[in-house]
Amino acid sequence: MAEKKLRVGVIGCGGRGWAHASAYMRSDKVVLTACADTYKPARDSFKAKFGFKKCYANYRDMLLRERLDVVSVCLWPHLHCPAVLDCASLHHPPRLINAEKPMAPTFGEAVRMHEACVQRDIMLTFCHQRRFGASWSTAKKLLDSGAIGTLQRMEMNTSNMFDWGTHWFDMMHFFNNDLQASWVMGQIGCAADNKIFGATMETAGIAYVKWPNDVTGLLTTGQGNATPYEIRLMGSTGMIDVYHGKCRLFAEGQKWTDVPLGEQRPDDTYLHIIDSIDCLLNKRQSILCSENALRATSLIFATYESSRRRARVFLPLSIEDSPLLSMLEDGKIVIPDWPTYISAQDEDDGFRFFYNGRNLRGLNSVPQRSWRSRAGILCSDKAGAWIYLDKAIGNFELRFEFRLGSRSEAGVVFWADPRKGPKSGLEIVIADDRMSPPGLTTTGAIRGLSPATKGGTTTSSWRPAKVVCQDGKVTLSISDQELSTHDLPASAFAGHARQGALGLLARSGEVEFRSVFYAPRD
């Protein structure tokens, strides 16, 4: 009798969902049963690409109807805990949940996910997939073989403590055999509004960690802290430097040498997913289990707590909140307003303020008060909110930075008649639609008229963008890369004015813009 295959569901059909599904698709132990995403183009293309039998707009409907054995949670961090707890509360819960990192925006949420799954006998893993990577596993083998004697100190650096630092804190435990740390002392600072996948990050931080076996760890984050290595392991007789795709050894009495990484292996996420299935079927614990993830997560929040207390923090940690978020709410950490200015060179090139960074003076909004100015940021969470310059503008260049919430949609509207609203103009689409195939409603498209020429892009952090409209040719560039170009024939504009109001449209979710300037090019 053939072995019954595990029924798999994926929550979230963005970039990380694609990585999980690509791995499941290559396993003969599972059947791709259902996927869920609030964004229809994403879930439809996901279903078609990987052969899922069904797709849902609401993941809760999928969980209730499909009786899944395995669920991947590939959402933004603030959505992890609700989704995992929803899985754990089912009458017939999944046996395995593979979730994305970082665990959650607060430490209490991270603990609740872990405890809920322990109580229901659910295997819960988080994708700290570096443990499967060639360079890191090679370094671990060197360390275990005694190549640098006894491990004494680890030094690591990266961009932030939450989204990327969670990997490096996990690596500290990986190299130190998952021993629970004794204490943490740290400090963080927020010099700018910095979010990734909706989660607020520090702009600079430092964490010093001590373990019971006298091993210490140092993690530095932010710009300007770069060292020649990503990770350095220091032992009693040598050092190991670890990078993405590279491992180097400095042994006693020798020079630095590159260490072969062995045969090329599948990507780290694939190895995580395939290993998790094997762990489930063979009843062994995954090295990416929630218990290990919680150790790494505790170092993040212990660092934040050390900054709040201005003292050393002993582990295990017993807080519920995120001290970083609490200090921001209490005003103990104040993020300065974003500086809005036009350089002398841009002024010479004809650029003017669309948004002055202080208030909405010179702008019209429909409906009224649907947009707001906050700390140098122009933002709205009202569906259909339009803000525009009531001027007849033809050719133009518009520069701005933007950030969108999960599955949010916005647009740059031009050549509109203020009396008739944004639909009277043309709209360049800007959306959180990573991995969606190019179409008439994806980032870079002129909505409903000319499709995007490239796929969507991630928009969870601030991205610089530029729209240029010159004699019927319209180009969108994001992060200095031309994403879409439209050279529309005159017939496409039959009966359409070649000038009109220029503005920004909030279609759905939370949309934010800053440093918004324009230059007429007639």
pLDDT in tens, 319-346: 999 999 999 999 999 999 999 999 999 9
Q: Which amino acid is at 72?
A: S
Q: What's the pTM?
A: 0.93
Give the pairing type, strands 364-366 and 385-393.
antiparallel
Domain-embedded: residue 441: yes
Residue 265 has a pLDDT of 86
Give the CATH number of the domain where residue 459 resides: 2.60.120.560
> pLDDT tens-digit profile of 462-477?
999 999 999 889 999 9
> pLDDT tens-digit profile of 23-67?
999 999 999 999 999 999 899 999 999 999 999 999 999 999 999
Residues 107, 97: Cα–Cα separation, whole Å? 19
Residues 490, 359: Cα–Cα separation, whole Å? 38
Residue 312 has a pLDDT of 98
Give the pairing type, strands 151-158 and 216-222.
parallel
Tell me how far the alpha carbon of residue 203 is from its chain's centroid: 16
Which structural domain range is residue 71 located in?
6-129
Domain-embedded: residue 362: yes
> pLDDT tens-digit profile of 262-310?
888 899 999 999 999 999 999 999 999 999 999 999 999 999 999 999 9
Answer yes or no: do 120 and 211 share one domain: no
Share of the chain above pLDDT 70, in %: 97
Answer yes or no: do 157 and 298 share one domain: yes
Share of the chain above pLDDT 90, in %: 88
CB atoms within 10 A of CB 509: 18
The domain tally of the chain equals 3
**Tokens 């190299």 sit at which residue?**
175
Answer yes or no: do 511 and 382 share one domain: yes
**270: part of which helix (H) or strand (E)?**
helix 268-282
Residues 520, 522: Cα–Cα separation, whole Å? 6
Last residue of a domain, one of 129, 145, 172: 129
Answer yes or no: do 148 and 123 share one domain: no
Contacts of 245 (CB under 8 A, 6+ apart): 134, 135, 261
* Across 401-422, average pLDDT: 96
Answer yes or no: do 55 and 165 share one domain: no
Last residue of a domain, one of 75, 107, 129: 129
pLDDT mean across residues, the chain = 95
Q: In the 8-state DSSP scheme, what is residue 56?
A: E
Question: What string of DSSP letters covers 95-164?
Answer: SEEEEPSS--SSHHHHHHHHHHHHHTT-EEEE--GGGGSHHHHHHHHHHHTTTTSSEEEEEEEES-TTTT
Give the CATH number of the domain where residue 38 resides: 3.40.50.720
| Cβ–Cβ under 8 Å, residues 501 and 417 | yes
Residue 342 Rama label (left phi>0; alpha psi -120 to 50; beta): beta
* Across 139-158, average pLDDT: 98
Residues 241, 136: Cα–Cα separation, whole Å? 10
Domain-embedded: residue 85: yes
Residue 213 has a pLDDT of 98
Residue 2 has a pLDDT of 61
Residues 337, 376: Cα–Cα separation, whole Å? 5
Answer yes or no: do 46 and 71 share one domain: yes
Answer yes or no: do 103 and 172 share one domain: no
Last residue of a domain, one of 73, 98, 129: 129
Domain-embedded: residue 240: yes
Q: How confident is the model at residue 225 (pLDDT cuts 50, 70, 90)?
A: low
Residues 338, 359: Cα–Cα separation, whole Å? 13
**Tokens 């039998």 sit at which residue?**
53
Domain-embedded: residue 354: yes
Answer yes or no: do 124 and 137 share one domain: no
Q: Which among 335, 380, 409, 459 is positioned nearest to 76, based on CA atoms?
A: 459
Q: Is the pLDDT of residue 180 over 80?
A: yes
Which is more confidently placed, 487 or 283? Answer: 283
Residue 417 bridge partners (DSSP)? 421
Answer yes or no: do 180 and 121 share one domain: no
Give the CATH number of the domain where residue 226 resides: 3.30.360.10
Which is more confidently placed, 488 or 164? Answer: 164
Answer yes or no: do 77 and 34 share one domain: yes
Q: Is the pLDDT of residue 252 over 70?
A: yes
| Cβ–Cβ under 8 Å, residues 257 and 239 | no
The CA–CA distances, whole Å, from 44 to 37, 41, 349, 437, 467 equal 9, 5, 44, 10, 29
* Across 478-494, average pLDDT: 79
Answer yes or no: do 90 and 156 share one domain: no
Q: Is the pLDDT of residue 449 over 90?
A: no
Residue 381 has a pLDDT of 97
Q: How confident is the model at residue 495 (pLDDT cuts 50, 70, 90)?
A: low
Domain-embedded: residue 349: yes
Domain-embedded: residue 268: no
Residues 323, 303: Cα–Cα separation, whole Å? 9
Q: Is the pLDDT of residue 72 over 90?
A: yes
Answer yes or no: do 504 and 355 share one domain: yes
* Across 160-169, average pLDDT: 97
Domain-embedded: residue 300: yes
